[in-house]
Chains A and B, each alone.
Chain A
């Protein structure tokens, strides 16, 4: 089955800096790659996602890149703000629509002002 690796497990940056989180996946059939932000005790919140027919997607300060050949995808957050501090999870699902998400282990991002 699918296996998703995520790095780093913790990331500390200064306000205004960029943050990059990387994930790799094992199943070449995976074709949907969302990123979630989760605050303590709350549900995961989708912040951006990418399908396998696209190499990059951007939404204001957040971007995701996908390299299907290498089977890795990355989250880029620019101009970080203290409110970006949270746990971020990457995930992958594939095959057919409606299949389960397999999550990475998460990255705790701390943005200090």
Chain B
């Protein structure tokens, strides 16, 4: 149980285009989902916290107009990178928390974004 999927696993896009990444909790309802980004050989940096049906809370320094987060249901959150630039190239990972074990986060497999 407690499986989180992400789609796509890898994406290459051209500079100036937008990319949408989906995060799904497959077998539980996610009360909260989180989005992280991870640069090579670096740690996971929290970008935003997303609760179903409400606006995401962004960390300081993360542009909310650039990284659009939608948490439309208890099993789906999406991250859209708008007007992507090469510096947005990174590994994006989502995680989700369910009701039963509200401390433990279940991570998705990550999405490798490359902007050319």
Interface members, chain B 42-101 (any A CB < 8 Å): 42-46, 49, 91, 93, 95, 97
Give complex CA distance A60, B108 in Å. 26
- Please determine whether B103 and A97 come into contact, CB atoms closer than 8 angstroms: yes
Give complex CA distance A101, B91 in Å. 17
Shortest Cβ distance from B31 into A: residue:
A98
CB distance from B44 to the nearest CB of A (A): 5
- Please determine whether A101 and B105 come into contact, CB atoms closer than 8 angstroms: yes
Q: Which bracket fits the contact residues of A?
A: 20 to 34
**Contact pattern, A 18-51, Cβ under 8 Å of B = 1, otherwise 0:** 0000000000000010100000011110100101
CB distance from A29 to the nearest CB of B (A): 14
- Please determine whether A104 and B104 come into contact, CB atoms closer than 8 angstroms: no
Shortest Cβ distance from A102 into B: residue:
B46
- Please determine whether B108 and A49 come into contact, CB atoms closer than 8 angstroms: no
Give complex CA distance A98, B103 in Å. 6
- Please determine whether A42 and B44 come into contact, CB atoms closer than 8 angstroms: no
Given A43, A46, A49, A105, which contacts B110 in the complex, CB threshold below 8 Å? A43
If A41-B112, A101-B34 touch, does A89 touch B44 (CB 8 Å cutoff)? yes
Instruction: Beyond the given A44-B93, A49-B103, please list 7 additional residue pairs across the A-B interface where CB-CB is below 8 A.
Output: A34-B104, A44-B44, A46-B104, A97-B97, A98-B103, A101-B34, A106-B42
Residues of A within 8 A of B (CB): 32, 34, 41-44, 46, 49, 51, 89, 93, 97-98, 100-106
Residues of B within 8 A of A (CB): 31-32, 34, 42-46, 49, 91, 93, 95, 97, 102-105, 107-110, 112
